[in-house]
A and B are shown apart, each in its own frame.
Chain A
Amino acid sequence: MKLELEIDGHIRQVEITPAETPGQWQIRVDGKPVEADAHLLRPGVLSLLIGGRSHRVVLDAGFAEPALHLGEKRITWEAGDPRSLRRRRHVKADGPMELKASMPGRVVRVLVERGEPVGAHQAVVVIEAMKMQNELKSPKDGRVTQMRVAPGDTVSAGDVLAVIE
Chain B
Amino acid sequence: MRKILIANRGEIALRIVRACRELSIATVAVYSDADRAALHVLEADEAYRLGPAPAVESYLRGDVILGIAAQCGADAIHPGYGFLSENAGFAQACEEAGVKFIGPTSAAMRALGSKTAARQAADEAGMPRTPGCVHGLASPEEARDVAASVGYPVMLKAAAGGGGKGMRAVYRPEELEAAFATASSEAERAFGSGEVYLEKLIERPRHIEVQVLADEHGHCVYLGERECSVQRRHQKVIEEAPSAVVDEELRRRMGEAAVRLALSAKYTNAGTVEFLVDEEQNFYFLEMNTRLQVEHPVTELVTGYDLVHLQIAIARGEPLPFRQEDVHLRGHAIECRVYAEDPENGFMPSPGRITRLLQPGGPGIREDCGIYEGWVVPMDYDPMLSKLIAWAPTRKLAIARMLRALDEYVIGGIRTNLGLFRRILRDSDFQAARIDTSYLDRLLAASHLGERAGAETGLHLPAIAAAAIFEASRPGNGHDTAPVAGTSGWKSAARHEAVREAMWKPRG
Contact = CB atoms under 8 A, between A and B. Distances in A.
Interface of A: 1-3, 5, 7-10, 12, 14, 16-18, 25, 27, 29, 34, 36, 38, 40, 43-46, 48, 50, 53, 55, 57-66, 68-75, 77, 79-81, 84-85, 102-106, 128-132, 134, 154, 156-157
B463 A70 contact: yes
Given A8-B457, A132-B348, 19 more contacts: A1-B483, A2-B483, A16-B479, A25-B469, A27-B469, A62-B353, A64-B487, A66-B490, A68-B463, A72-B419, A75-B463, A77-B467, A79-B467, A85-B485, A104-B352, A130-B351, A130-B381, A131-B382, A154-B379
A68 B410 contact: no
Contacts, number: 181
For the complex of A and B, the 6 pairs showing the least CB-CB separation, nearest first, are: A62-B413, A80-B485, A130-B349, A129-B379, A61-B494, A57-B466
A9 B464 CA distance: 12
Nearest to B346: A134
20 contacts: A3-B471, A3-B472, A3-B483, A16-B469, A25-B468, A29-B461, A48-B465, A50-B462, A58-B358, A60-B413, A64-B487, A66-B490, A70-B463, A72-B407, A75-B460, A79-B485, A105-B379, A128-B379, A130-B383, A156-B352
Interface string B356-390: 10100000000000000000000111110000000
B464 A58 contact: no
A65 B494 CA distance: 12
B186 to A, nearest CB: 14
Contact of B464 (A5, A74, A85): A5
B164 interface: no
Contacts of A57: 462-463, 466
B497 interface: yes
Contact of B413 (A38, A61, A105): A61
Nearest to A41: B358
A134 B460 contact: no
Query: In which size bucket is the chain B interface?
Result: 35 or more
A134 B348 contact: yes
Contacts of A7: 460, 463-464, 467
B154 to A, nearest CB: 28
B465 A36 contact: yes
Nearest to B462: A55
Contacts of B355: 44, 60-62
B422 A72 contact: yes
A34 B349 CA distance: 39
Contacts of A102: 345, 348
Contact of B461 (A50, A59, A80, A104): A50
A1 B462 CA distance: 18
A46 B479 contact: no
Nearest to A51: B461
A148 to B, nearest CB: 19
A3 to B, nearest CB: 6
Nearest to B349: A130
Contacts of A58: 356, 358, 410, 412
Contacts of A70: 460, 462-463, 466
Given A16-B472, A50-B461, A72-B407, A62 B352 contact: yes
A85 B483 CA distance: 12
A105 B483 contact: no
A25 B464 CA distance: 13
A10 B468 CA distance: 14
Contacts of B422: 72
Of residues B457, B459, B465, B479, which shows the largest number of chain A Cβ atoms within 10 Å of its Cβ?
Answer: B465
B293 interface: no
Nearest to A49: B462
A5 B468 contact: yes
B479 A1 contact: yes
A46 B466 contact: yes
B454 to A, nearest CB: 12
A45 B485 contact: no
Contacts of A156: 352
A134 B350 CA distance: 12
Contact of A68 (B349, B353, B380, B470): B470
Contacts of A75: 460, 463, 467
